[in-house]
Every structure is written in structure tokens, then in C-alpha cells.
Structure 1
Amino acid sequence: MTVQVVTANRLRDGVIVWLTADLGWSEEFTESRPLRDEAEAKAALEAAGVAVKARLVVGPYLAEVDETPEGLKPNSARERIRASRLPTITPDQGSWTGRIEG
């Protein structure tokens, strides 16, 4: 099995969070709990389900990661973006109004 972590969004503000070893949630990817087998992954998703019912997080899912000597590294572009905590747009790009001009 590929090493995985659980990620979700915190319900109160939408911030990306990662399930930690103590089954809490952290904004820091580096604190995420590596899941190395199916039993660990199942237990972690069950813990995430409890957090969903408690209205702490929404949309938890498993994300594949690589385990390196430097630590865990996100495997996909999506997870690299989520783990970086950097915005994908800047304020100067404005906001979409729902209208297409011209």
C-alpha cells in the first residue's frame, strides 16, 4: 500500500487541515500522520468521520504521500498546493462577478 494521510477542511473557516498522530487536526502538513496500511487508513477515516459528525471538519479523504528522509512529501499537484498553504490567486486578480463582459 502507498503511504497516505487524511486531509479535510475545517468547517468554521474552510482552512485545510491534516489528521495528526493524536487524531487531532493541524494546519501543518508536516504534522500529518502517515498511514502505512489499510487498517491504519480505515481507522483514520473513521476518526475523521467522528470529526465530521462533531462538525469540526468537512470532506475528509486519503491523500497519497511519499516518505523521504526529509519527511512526508505530497504525491500530487493538488496536495502540494494544499500543503504549501499558499494562495492560488492573488488579490490583484480580482474576484469573479459571475458576468462575462464583452
Structure 2
Amino acid sequence: MKILTANRLRDGEAVWLAADHSWAASIEAAEIARDKATEEKLERAGKAALLKNEVVDVNLIDVTVADGEIRPLRLRERIRAAGPTNRIDLGKQARPEIAVAA
């Protein structure tokens, strides 16, 4: 399974492509590609957003779904989803409405 992630150009925030093709600040809103055709659809949407200067660093990442939560496989992506590991009072993990993905 894969999801599409990027950094929003206006503020640098890590974002994920949702099913409605908006960029969500929470990984829980990400559209999950469970097949090659959906992966290709996500990549096309990411390229279009890159060309419109909405996002940068667009990447498909590997995830798993456990207990109904999307969890990135790579540590780098878990950190991007939650925030800095040295300051839990900063980043996404400091926001009560955002669940910790790491």
C-alpha cells in the first residue's frame, strides 16, 4: 500500500494527498493506493500539483494500516507525520487534533 506525500510550498508543512485531490495536513486523510492503477493516479495528481507550485518533494511512500491507522514504514516518514523527535511540544504531535503516527 502507498500514499502520496509532499511539502506544501507556501509554508513547508508535510502534507498528504486526499481522495478529493486536496492536500491534507493529517496523514489520516491520505488516499491509500492498493493497486498500481491508483498509484499512477496519485503520481499524476502529484505532478500536476508540483507544476502548479502547490507542493515540492512529491513522493509515493509505503504504508501499512493497523488498527484503522495509516502508518508509514520508513522512520523518516513517521517523523514527518508526527513532528520532531526531540521536542514533543512542536510539530504535528503538539496539536491535539492530530494523532501521533510514530
Question: Which sits farther off after the overlay, 62-71 or 48-57?
Answer: 62-71
> TM-score normalised to the size of structure 2?
0.79
SS in structure 1 at match of 2:15: strand
Taking only the aligned residue pairs, the percentage that are identical comes to: 37
- Residue 57 of structure 2 aligns with which residue? 59
- Residue 22 of structure 1 aligns with which residue? 20
- 5+ residue gaps, structure 2, are 88-102
SS in structure 2 at match of 1:78: helix
Counterparts of 1:82 and 1:33 in 2: how far apart (Å)? 17
Shift of 1:8: 0.3
Q: CA RMSD in A?
A: 1.2
Query: How many corresponding residue pairs?
Result: 87
- 5+ residue gaps, structure 1, are 91-102
Show structure 1 runs of 4+ deviating over 3 A: none
> TM-score normalised to the size of structure 1?
0.79
SS in structure 2 at match of 1:58: strand
